[in-house]
Each structure stands twice: as structure tokens, then as C-alpha cells.
Amino acid sequence: MKIIVTGGAGFIGSHLTKKLIQENHEVYVIDCLHPYYSPERKKKQLEHVAGFGSFHFIQKDLLDREEMEAVFKRISPHVVVHLAALPGVAYSIEEPLKYVDYDIKATINVLEASGKAGVSKFVFASSSSVYGNQSGPFKEEMANGNVISPYAASKFSAESFCHVYESLFGFQVNILRFFTVYGPWGRPDMAIGSFIKKLMNGEEITLFGEGRARDFTYIEDIVNGIYLTIHTLTKSEVINIGSGRPITMDYLLAQLRWHFPNMKINKETSRVGDVVNTWADIEKAERLLGYEPRVDFKKGLSETVKWAKENEKIL
């Protein structure tokens, strides 16, 4: 199949691209190498993926509406996986309007270009943040727009535009809500990646807020959820892709201490915009996709620490 992966130079996108080319799909990565975090790191991610087979790389910004329409028509893909976005809750509070551009306007351009190019399936990367500060487990129907960060509001809005363009063009739309993803090549601004890097350098780590828990999901499980959606799902659906098993910060710290016995922690009050807990109800993913998270947290964290020790110094 011909598949466009927007944001394919990013964390999740580069892992997905690797899996798709290994399965002999013709993959077109569209990514502008946005400097939210190091473009050099994104280039290294692409180089790593290129070691597993060939794919097309188009360095362009999805905000260019006419260009996107032309590119999508030229490629004429069967499937579009739209992962490109400006991620991160904290930065969205500083720069909310950038999230309207990168997470809403860019999504509209991709939806419109997909419709005009005759795409049959559109997969959108949404986020657990759309559940706001409710108590879990989160079932898909619990998202109601009552969110607490501009990032979450832009994802909820982009989901809504996905429904609009499904009705305008009639393609299948699958909205996948990912829960805190971690693993090798993990985003350097996220807790696990940044903690490991600091601990390797003997620096103190800072924890915001007490009594928090996150449904940390290993990257291979996320990629598997996307892959199953591409291959098995035949109708439009909104589906959580998570581990279904919240990890408390105390447990995360205990596991990190096992890898870094001299760990030093600085505790601060919670940051605005951060939800207290996330917890995915994954019954729908299990039932509709045959999805099953395979990597438990201890194993996933060990793999991530091992990767960081071998690679982080050169990134």
C-alpha cells in the first residue's frame, strides 16, 4: 500500500515508518523538521529508519495548503497517518496560538488534501489529554471538550475536524488516542526521556506534583495499534491505544533508582495544564483491533535506559 506518514521524522512516526517499510509498504514521510526539539535528532531518526529499507522523504510544512494539495494528489496514497503536530502541554500554555496553527490548521490542510486525493483511510493521532482531569479508566465516550491545556483543546478540535471531513469526503476516519508514549528515540522533552538523560549525567531530576499516575505505553505497542488500525479496521472509530495500566510516579522513581542508584530528586508543586492521572480503558482496541499491549513497564524502561546509554551521548 502507498501510505503517507506526516510527522514521520518524529518519535512515533519514525518507529511507524520503520515498521511499514519492513512490511513492504511504499511510505512517504512528510515532515518539516520543526525545531520544537532538535532537527538534528530528527535527521538521525530518519537515518536510522533508512537502515531498514527505502522510503520517500518530503521536507515540507503542512501549513502550506496549496503545496499539500499538489503533493497528496501526486502521491495518491491509499492511507494517510497524520502524526505531525506540535506536542507538549507546557509549551502550549506559553504559545497557544502556535497550537491552533500546527495542531488544528495543519490537520485541516491534511484532511482536505486527503479528500481531494481520494484517500480511503485517514488515521489521526489524538491524545489522552482530551479526557481532561477526569478519573480513569477513560472510555472513548468520556471525552467532552472539558480539557485543561491548549494542547488538549487543539487535539479535541482537530478530532472534530476529522469528523467534518469524513462527512465531506466519505473516507474512513480512525482517531487513535495515544497514552504517554515512551521507548528508544523517545521525545527529549517528555518525563522518561529527560529523566534518563539527566540521570546519566549525574544531574538531579525534577518531579512536578504528588500522587500522579500515567498510563505509560511502550512505543512498540503504539506502533502495533496503528498498524492493526491500518490493516484490520474497516469503519470509522475513535479508539484508545494505551497500556491500560497506570504507573504511579513512586513506582517510576523506584524503577529508575534500580538503574541509577545515586538518583537525586527535586520535588516541585504541580504545573498548570498537567492532568493528575491518565488511565486507558482498552476494551475497544482489544475487541475491534485484537490489540494487546505486550511490553510491561519494567521491561520497556530497561530497553529505554539501554538505548539511552548507547545513543543519547551522540544525539
Ligand X SMILES: NC(=O)c1ccc[n+]([C@@H]2O[C@H](COP(=O)([O-])OP(=O)(O)OC[C@H]3O[C@@H](n4cnc5c(N)ncnc54)[C@H](O)[C@@H]3O)[C@@H](O)[C@H]2O)c1
Least distance CB 262 / ligand X (angstroms): 28
Taking the alpha carbons of 175, 179, 183, 185 in that order, is the dihedral positive or negative? positive
Contact with ligand X (CB under 6 A): which of 21, 84, 152, 282?
A: 84
Instruction: Say how far apart CA 259 and CA 200 lie, in whole Å.
Output: 10
**Cα dihedral value 279, 191, 18, 100, nearest 10:** 80
Amino acid at 76: S
Q: Does the footprint of ligand X cover residue 11 (CB under 6 A)?
A: yes
Number of residues that bind ligand X (CB under 6 A): 29
Q: Does the footprint of ligand X cover residue 13 (CB under 6 A)?
A: yes
Q: Does the footprint of ligand X cover residue 10 (CB under 6 A)?
A: yes
Contact with ligand X (CB under 6 A): which of 7, 150, 193, 293?
A: 7
Q: Does the footprint of ligand X cover residue 32 (CB under 6 A)?
A: yes
Q: Does the footprint of ligand X cover residue 273 (CB under 6 A)?
A: no
- Please give the residues from 42 up to 61 whose contact with ligand X meets the rule CB under 6 A: 42, 61
Say if CB 55 and CB 49 are below 8 A apart: yes
Contact with ligand X (CB under 6 A): which of 127, 154, 224, 229?
A: 127
Least distance CB 251 / ligand X (angstroms): 18
Q: Does the footprint of ligand X cover residue 282 (CB under 6 A)?
A: no
Query: Which residues have CB under 8 Å from 288's CB, separation 6+?
Result: 232, 233, 237, 239
- Indicate which residue of 91, 102, 131, 151 is catalytic: 151
If the CB atoms of residues 205 and 280 are measured against ligand X, the closer one turns out to be 280
Q: Does the footprint of ligand X cover residue 300 (CB under 6 A)?
A: no
Q: Confirm whether 251 is a catalytic residue.
A: no
Q: Does the footprint of ligand X cover residue 75 (CB under 6 A)?
A: no
Q: 3-state DSSP call for residue 33?
A: coil
Instruction: Say how far apart CA 293 and CA 230 lie, in whole Å.
Output: 17
Least distance CB 21 / ligand X (angstroms): 17
Q: 3-state DSSP call for residue 182?
A: strand
Instruction: Say how far apart CA 213 and CA 215 lie, in whole Å.
Output: 7
CA-based nearest residue to 256, from 171, 148, 182: 182
- Please give the residues from 173 up to 212 whose contact with ligand X meets the rule CB under 6 A: 178, 180-181, 187
- Please give the residues from 90 up to 109 whose contact with ligand X meets the rule CB under 6 A: 102, 106
If the CB atoms of residues 257 and 294 are measured against ligand X, the closer one turns out to be 294
**81 strand-pairing partners:** 5, 123
DSSP assignment of 222-259, as one string?
HHHHHHHHHHH--S-EEEEES-S--EEHHHHHHHHHHH
Binding stretches for ligand X (CB under 6 A):
7, 9-13, 30-34, 36, 42, 61-63, 83-87, 102, 106, 125, 127, 178, 180-181, 187
| Residues marked as catalytic | 151
